[in-house]
Structure 1
């Protein structure tokens, strides 16, 4: 979407997992001002945390098996434990599959770019649509692992989850409300790189909730780190395993929290980006 470091696809990689760091609830003019002023956690936040835990469990189940070390991987090809995050000037990929950037270079930079773009796709609201979810996984998951990922996620994105988030049974938003689920990569780092597989971590911020005047689950923010083992398959980097943990989270700022209407307009008015290392 994400407790723990065990490898697995955290369904809520973009959701930040349990124990999310959250911004203040909406401000004075918003319907949730009373909840913001209370020292006790609101029901909406408790609900979101419960949802995150449910999704994490589904992802952990999907990736119970870990990949063995590749004995044929040249040891001298392994890089340092981590590389500093800095822009390279390499242009973003010019192709896509099912709307997802694909065709990343067979380089460490290409692997980091792939991980960032895949984090965005896996954390999108489109994952709540069954047909679209399969298209996304088809584009970014190692084919041999597709069945495992898809089965766990289909169970994770359940009717009870949709109900907790305020969605309809088919995963769509009620009339007058806008469902928000977005992940924004902040930076990437790679470890143990070879031209056949590598481990990439992506530091992310995320948004999750329902925007609109009648919403009882306001959009909240979170910070989390996604770790992926990527394999070079069929001319691109693809995900073999996926896991997630909370943070690192900065100290919240003093800016006024937006109203639900402002959040809805922002989500509808600002599109996503393609990421390149």
Structure 2
């Protein structure tokens, strides 16, 4: 959710981008993009620090109970039929009711990354609803107030949004996470640690935008707990990369990005 200079783009990589003749691409945006992207990064770091502090000692708490998580060597886990039916329910628009298995944990982590990387996180009511659905009660209570402060009116304005998290007229705000793969780092009956490698999109598509949609590559690690008949997030952290070498793809115009955002919906991941 925080793409920007952390893309790992070098000056050489930037010179390979062929920008179209479009006000969206030709506006003097560099300074604004860097400042807003930097703020998004700061928000992400703050949230992760809060989560880390809140849950650093959970492993020693009696609440953990159950079997000790078994650390496993990370390995490729390609999507394949598991014999278990995919989830058939949604809560607040997010798939829920995942299998109580390692594959179920991977599917949950992937779907949760998609939800947390969406535009819903920029609106107060939908953000609160997501926290209640995706996180354990303790984690949700810890994060809600901190995230409300992080997503302040000033921060939203820097992203080109109004105080309610809405984009200007004739503009489309884009924030998406697209999982590339998952890896189970540890698993037990009541807990799992799953890493999701993903590419993210964020920015404003519009003729007057000074903050065009850009991409990033990150790895999002979720500390999951089996709670209330589903996997819930107890803590999470992110790191940059691994990022591939940028290609020679021609950058799309603002209209093309807006149209693609409207025409192509997100994915539901189930194994």
Give the alignment's TM-score, normalised by structure 2.
0.88
Call closer, same or farther: CA 1:60–1:79 in 2, change over 3 Å. Answer: closer
* 2:223 paired residue number: 229
The runs of 4+ residues in structure 1 deviating greater than 6 Å are none
Q: Does 1:105 align with 2:99?
A: yes
Give the alignment's TM-score, normalised by structure 1.
0.86
Gaps of 5+ in 2: none
* 2:80 paired residue number: 88
Q: Does 1:59 align with 2:60?
A: no
Q: Does 1:121 align with 2:108?
A: no
Partners in 2 of 1:92 and 1:249 — Cα distance?
30
The count of corresponding residues between Structure 1 and Structure 2 is: 259
* 1:20 paired residue number: 7
Deviations 1:161-192 (Å, cap 9, x if unpaired)? Answer: 11111111211011111000000000001112
Paired residues of 2:47 and 2:146 also in contact (CA < 8 A)? yes
Higher helix share: 2
Gaps of 5+ in 1: 1-13
Partners in 1 of 2:3 and 2:153 — Cα distance?
21
Paired residues of 1:18 and 1:52 also in contact (CA < 8 A)? no
Counterpart of 2:181 in 1: which secondary structure?
strand
Q: How do 1:82-231 residues align onto structure 2 when only pairs under 5 Å count?
A: 82-90=74-82, 91-231=85-225
* 1:48 paired residue number: 36
Counterpart of 2:176 in 1: which secondary structure?
strand
Partners in 1 of 2:5 and 2:250 — Cα distance?
25
Residue 16 of structure 1, CA deviation:
4.1
Partners in 1 of 2:261 and 2:25 — Cα distance?
21
Deviations 1:43-79 (Å, cap 9, x if unpaired)? Answer: 133123222223123303431131225785546x725
Counterpart of 1:166 in 2: which secondary structure?
coil
Residue 205 of structure 1, CA deviation:
0.3
Paired residues of 1:26 and 1:32 also in contact (CA < 8 A)? no
Counterpart of 2:7 in 1: which secondary structure?
coil
Call closer, same or farther: CA 1:85–1:44 in 2, change over 3 Å. Answer: farther
Deviations 1:190-228 (Å, cap 9, x if unpaired)? Answer: 112001001110000000000011111000000000011
